Chain A
């Protein structure tokens, strides 16, 4: 059936994916709180269920039953739209990420890389609009910081993506993972990983680059006027973004679903991907626990005076390598 192929199957796949991601989000909050507690020699959540494993469920119930408050001074349609716009890009980027041999999450399009760049481009809308529609100086300042930060760090991020693309020779992420790389390609690629990771930290507004919501300067930045479920949506957006970007980094730098026997046994692919994502998420939390926040001008200076030239040099060398060694 025509419409079954076009509409129903992708919808079911998308719903399963969203369910998995939302569960992942819930347990990522638990994972982060437990890890942060360990870094600070505390126990972390340990009351709800064994090892506090029911804590995410308790948090969800709490967020659902909070009173929905919409302040009088906000621009109502945009104020309500912003949390949804923040969450949606984090989910739709998953469409092109391969989860097993030959199987993308939703679709194998020939613009996989560009899809990532495009979605990264619209990611900042939720934050900007939240800040503006809240009609509050702290929110607006947070939003402006965030917009400048995300737009700036998109440039080096894009340059590193283009370099990987030049070496891979295909826009499709499914083909990227399946192609065999030479040993020097892996080494060259891993040299870029720390810098790519820094860009990702800035793009996801994660600590140490969480300047849009610095609590000691801007109350809570762009999300000051949000409460209850609407705040939970922003929270969700940030954490699902962490999962999504970890999956992208696993796909680009660490072979995605690849692992021992993953080619023969299809269902091992997603498991390897999840293991790699969990390890990368550990990196996010490790950085948050260890590094303090830079000043805002330091952040921008670092991007424009260090990351961007570095990205350009890296891209040029990648192009030369691709022409002469492949």
Chain B
């Protein structure tokens, strides 16, 4: 991008986006209504994409929106709508326990992440701008198909296996759906 913000504005922008991101993350776990949770998750993913763009990782930002916002959250909504996530599935005791365990796990995760982050913190290198060019689609594509081609192909096979597995599990037994005009078996 040709226009660049000065550092103070950039920090302000980062704080604003990060605040929205955190608020959305809290909303995911705090709201009682599963669909609201899913929407907060969507907000969270969107703000993450904005943060990727500020790091010059445009490809990652686009992939974040395409995969998570455009695919996964829609699937989550689909499941909630079809199964009907009822908010009264849990007893009061279960709710309290889930809260205690959730907060404890969250604190442990936070401590672990901040410990490792603080331990390895180094000032950004002088050629940070050059390093950040790695976020363009071209750079990501070249990296994927040269250095990381084996993991890439393995993931592709894994996804194919999952796809076939879903097909096998979701297949209708012979004769199911007969009599419903819109579902013709063997058509």
Chain A residues in contact with chain B, CB under 8 A?
2-3, 5-6, 75, 77-78, 81, 107, 109-111, 114-115, 117-118, 120-122, 124-125, 128-129, 132-133, 140, 143-144, 147, 151, 154, 171, 295-297
Contact = CB atoms under 8 A, between A and B. Distances in A.
A111 B69 contact: no
B74 A110 contact: no
Contact of B65 (A2, A6, A121, A147): A121
A295 B33 contact: no
Contact of B3 (A5, A81, A128, A133): A5
A232 B42 CA distance: 25
A321 B81 CA distance: 44
Q: Contact size class for B?
A: 20 to 34
Interface of A is mostly: helix
Give the top 5 A-B pairs by smallest Cβ distance, nearest first. A121-B70, A114-B62, A118-B65, A111-B58, A297-B182
A122 B62 contact: no
Contacts of A297: 182-183
A122 B5 contact: no
A78 B36 contact: yes
A3 B9 contact: yes
Nearest to B136: A110
B134 interface: no
B39 interface: yes
Given A121-B70, A144-B78, A144-B82, A75 B35 contact: yes
A75 B62 contact: no
Contact of B78 (A115, A129, A147, A296): A147
Contacts of B61: 111
Given A3-B9, A110-B136, A78 B62 contact: no
B58 A128 contact: no
